[in-house]
Structure 1
Amino acid sequence: MATMKSVQTGTAPNTVDVVEIERPVPGPRDVVVRVRACGICGTDVSFLHMGGAPFGPGGSMIPLPLGHEPAGEIVEAGAEVTGLKAGDRVVVNPQGVPSGIIGCGGELGGMREYLLIEGAAVGKNVAVFPDTVPFDVAALNEPMAVARHCVNRSGARPADKVVVFGAGPIGLGAAIWLKLRGVEHVTVADVIPERLETALAIGADAVINSATEDVTARLTELHGEAVNALGQPRAGTDIYIDAAGAPAVFDATVASAKWGAKMVMVAVQKKSAAIDLGGMLRSELTLIASQGYPTEIFEVTPEIVEHQERFARLISHRVPFSEVGRAFDLTLTPGAAEKVVVTFDGPAA
């Protein structure tokens, strides 16, 4: 029996285990992908904090296969598969397989040497990309689809002025999509100077260090003056995007929002204090939630190919699979990394 290595939540919280499991064999409609790169997401970190997934008897924790941002190359294809062949380089839709979401509660994880794609079909669960794109950049496809859906939900137009709170991968991805959409002015706010430098490098028009600067004053300086429904002075910002999930973001938005402004929440929300509904009312602030990527998962692929140099700047650390424990340690350490991608270089076991 051929085996391979796979990463799952560890026996103790905030740890991972690398286990030896059976290498998959494709059915007639399946393909096997040799994973060449897989990003680590905040969702993976959440599962590490919990110590697994509560799917065991009585809600007990069980080990969870990790990774839902894989890119790789097809090494085996079933006899009934069409449009795909061995050697094709592909990105994966982790929500497009019948055994559950890859790396988020399903039977399969993307942080492994070989990944079975059940019922493989182009446009459904895989998309092919050219060999001009490095695997690590291609592995950004899934999080960039999340960011793209957020921008789509915002309805941003070229004349709009937008602020993105949180210069992690999703926030920076949203900033890229906003600028590619032709949005006039995009500001990125964060508390980590290095992330703000990255924001400028990927095309943001301005940045705000929200740990040291008055957010409302800076937004007014950048986006002009406006008023809320009561005529009280506010910033001229049209759209606020929360890619941070911190209670302070909502407070800053309500304090700054003009009449008719919109706020889009794409970050996983941390426990927050009471929402200032009165402040929302005074600005007629529209609150929009953004979850996943109903249509965007492969819409983004050709644009990542076209603008790969810009997206590559989002990757702060490339860590070999042989050091996967260190890769997860980086993501578990606040402020230590922006985007960590695990690479599978050399022949797989």
Structure 2
Amino acid sequence: MKLVRTGAVDRIEVVEVERPVPGPADALVRIRACGICGTDATFLHMGGTPIDAAGNPLGDGRLRSLPLGHEPAGEVVEVGAEVTDLKVGDHVVVNPQGAPSGIIGCGGALGGMSEYLLIQDAVAGKSVAVLPDSVPFGVAALNEPMAVSRHCVNRSEAGPGDKVIVFGAGPIGLGAVIWLKLRGVQHVAVADVIASRLETALAVGADAVIDSSREDVPARLLELHGTGRNALGQPRPGTDIYIDAAGAAVVVNTALRTGKWGAKLVMVAVHSKPAPIDIGAMLRSEMTIVASQGYPTEIFEVTPEIAEHAERFAKLISHRIPFDTVERAFELTLTPGAAEKVVVTFD
């Protein structure tokens, strides 16, 4: 079978490897779609990973070629004799963190950007989740990033009466918008600098958008969310929750300087390098800063709702690229502004 792994810096390799043979407790999934995300791009920029499949540092500047793909969806084609809750033909999404050999596509021995994926110790609800056959595989492949978004929203503790601003209209930010609106949050605004992303934000349910490249974000938030006060009594937007899905220091500082008393900042984006932030501004609002990493419990919490709202989630996919031109899929991902969410499809 064919498998995609890291090659030279910013390049992938498509290699032929043996098709896995499932053991008694395993299952084999034929991959039908697999998304590409910023983590894949990070590994490509590095040219591999400095750890072995067990998570141990290689040392001496060495890098290991890494099987890619941690957003797979597919169809069960074989099950081991001990597997009782899965059957051939089931459509499934995968928990990348459920493999004993390491996180699938993120340092482990297995990668989901391949024609077949071995599911070790296959258990429905733990390593995979079954979803209705009616859900397109491309949409099913959004399960993992939407779990990231769901954890962010869970960490925000947003309720129906809250007013929220999401900075960054990439897949994670837009996923947060969908989850916020599905839980009945009163008003969700989205800020970004790319017009097409803002259009998508409105399409998936945002109440308002802000082009932060040309609009005054605090002024717009005052218009949208009304007036609140910080701890010193100074007027501030009535925004309750700020979500950083952009990964830029200016977003953090905007939230800190704009926040009313008791506002909350949830940080789900990866910041690639340290940057100065205005701690004094945090004191003036008594802002709570919450970090959101991964999906401790959400990986299959999201699956039924993705199935129920498949058409809405499908709007997040900007490009569907066949596996036989997978190099093009990664080129799009590595080119700033060329694509929003790329999903590779397998015939």
TM-score, length-scaled by structure 2: 0.97
- From 20, 25, 29, the equivalent of 1:33 is 29
- From 45, 48, 51, the equivalent of 1:52 is 48
- From 2, 13, 24, the equivalent of 2:9 is 13
Q: Which runs of 5+ in 2 are unaligned?
A: 52-57
Deviations 1:287-346 (CA, angstroms, capped at 9, x unpaired): 00001111110010000010000000000000000111100010101111110000001x
Aligned partners of 1:239 and 1:263 also within 8 Å: yes
What residue identity is the alignment partner of 1:321?
A: F
C-alpha displacement of 1:252: 1.2
Quick one: distance in 2 between partners of 1:158 and 1:65? 42
Quick one: distance in 2 between partners of 1:250 and 1:21? 45
C-alpha displacement of 1:131: 1.0
Quick one: distance in 2 between partners of 1:220 and 1:59? 50
2:247 alignment partner in structure 1: 245
1:315 alignment partner in structure 2: 317
Quick one: distance in 1 between partners of 2:274 and 2:200? 28
Deviations 1:114-146 (CA, angstroms, capped at 9, x unpaired): 000000001101000111100000000000000
1:268 alignment partner in structure 2: 270
Quick one: distance in 2 between partners of 1:302 and 1:265? 26
Question: Runs ≥4 in structure 1, deviation > 2 angstroms?
Answer: 55-59
C-alpha displacement of 1:84: 0.4
Q: Which runs of 5+ in 1 are unaligned?
A: none
Aligned partners of 2:249 and 2:277 also within 8 Å: no
1:302 alignment partner in structure 2: 304
For this pair of structures, how many residues does the alignment match?
A: 341
- From 124, 132, 138, the equivalent of 2:134 is 132
- Partner of 2:97, secondary structure, is coil
Deviations 1:144-191 (CA, angstroms, capped at 9, x unpaired): 000000000000010000000000000000000000000000001100
Quick one: distance in 2 between partners of 1:80 and 1:59? 42
Quick one: distance in 1 between partners of 2:165 and 2:335? 26
Quick one: distance in 2 between partners of 1:196 and 1:304? 21
- Partner of 1:63, secondary structure, is coil
- Partner of 2:17, secondary structure, is strand
Deviations 1:202-246 (CA, angstroms, capped at 9, x unpaired): 000000001110000001110001111011111110000000101
Aligned partners of 1:5 and 1:21 also within 8 Å: yes
1:285 alignment partner in structure 2: 287
Aligned partners of 1:246 and 1:272 also within 8 Å: no
- Partner of 2:98, secondary structure, is coil
TM-score, length-scaled by structure 1: 0.97
Quick one: distance in 1 between partners of 2:42 and 2:92? 27
1:99 alignment partner in structure 2: 101
Quick one: distance in 2 between partners of 1:206 and 1:258? 20
C-alpha displacement of 1:256: 1.1
What residue identity is the alignment partner of 1:290?
A: S
Aligned partners of 1:75 and 1:86 also within 8 Å: yes
1:76 alignment partner in structure 2: 78
Aligned partners of 1:40 and 1:340 also within 8 Å: yes
What residue identity is the alignment partner of 1:68?
A: H
Deviations 1:61-104 (CA, angstroms, capped at 9, x unpaired): 11100000000000110011011011111000000010000000
Quick one: distance in 2 between partners of 1:82 and 1:59? 45
What residue identity is the alignment partner of 1:15?
A: R
- Partner of 2:218, secondary structure, is helix
Aligned partners of 1:216 and 1:255 also within 8 Å: no
- From 316, 332, 335, the equivalent of 2:334 is 332
Quick one: distance in 2 between partners of 1:272 and 1:26? 44
C-alpha displacement of 1:248: 1.1
RMSD: 0.7
C-alpha displacement of 1:57: 4.5
Aligned partners of 1:243 and 1:266 also within 8 Å: yes
Aligned partners of 1:247 and 1:271 also within 8 Å: no
1:160 alignment partner in structure 2: 162
What residue identity is the alignment partner of 1:18?
A: V
What residue identity is the alignment partner of 1:296?
A: E
Quick one: distance in 1 between partners of 2:281 and 2:30? 52
- From 215, 220, 223, the equivalent of 2:222 is 220
